[in-house]
Structure formats: C-alpha cells, structure tokens
Amino acid sequence: MATIESIRGGAAPSPHADLGPSVIRAIAGYAGQPTPLKRDGAAVTAWPLTDGVRFTVAPPGAVPLDNRLFALVDVPDLRALAELWPATRTIWMGAAPVPENLYRLLMAGAWAVRLGLLPTLKPRGGARRLRHASPALGRAPRRHVRRG
C-alpha cells in the first residue's frame, strides 16, 4: 500500500474569493508564536509567518494564479492530518494574503514576536482605548477658519 510522504496545503485569494479581515486577524494572533508540526519525520516547533515558500496555484483547466508567497500558519489541520496519517513525514499549511508587500510587513512583525521584541501581533483594542483617552485620535484634523 502506498504511503503519503508529504502534505502541503494553503489558502490564497482567488478571483472569486478573498482572504478577509477576520483571516488576517487570526493570522496576526498566532504570528511568531511556537506551534508544533511534523517536518522530515520529526515533531518540531515552528513559528508561523517566519517560514515561507513561493508557489504558483495552477488548477487543471484554469488560468494559474500569480506566483504567491505562502507563509506557515497555525491551523488545526497540522495536528489533525498528523493523527490521520501518522506515517506522513512532513505536514505544512500556509496562507498567501495579498498585497504581498503588506503581508511581508506582517511577516516582519512575526519575527519581532519570535525574537521577543513584541509580545504578540494580535489586536487587543489598544487603539480603541487610546481613541477614548484622546478624542482627536482617528479623526481628520479640524481647520479653524476665521470668517469676516
């Protein structure tokens, strides 16, 4: 019987579906935090958004998507697939939001979390609390026009 050596999967926006703000918030929540996965037959610790691969998604019979940067994400599939196929040597799941330049900023933030420079990238409502403390934050500047 054949065995599955490697499983790689990912999520990327297509012309028919985007990766919305909730996906980006979830990715930011665990960026740079340690997560277990299988690599080359061993259980290892990896850090989401610090491990990436370029890939072109080319579904049969359809126009391929542009080459995308996929970065490791912490999803339940990493553990579920390891339980379903214990002989699998490598399991890797990634996401490729666009635009890539903003995604690279998120990846840089993940490195800051991994290195201990930031505790997390998860939004905690800090901007909202700051806005209540300083009502001018988040508003367009007011112009004082003297008439007459």
Indicate the domain borders of the chain. 7-122
Residue 47: other Cβ atoms inside 10 A: 19
Could you report the per-residue pLDDT of 7-20, keeping only the tens digit for each? Answer: 999 988 876 667 67
CA dist 11 and 148 (Å) reads: 60
Confidence band for 37, pLDDT divided at 50, 70 and 90: very high
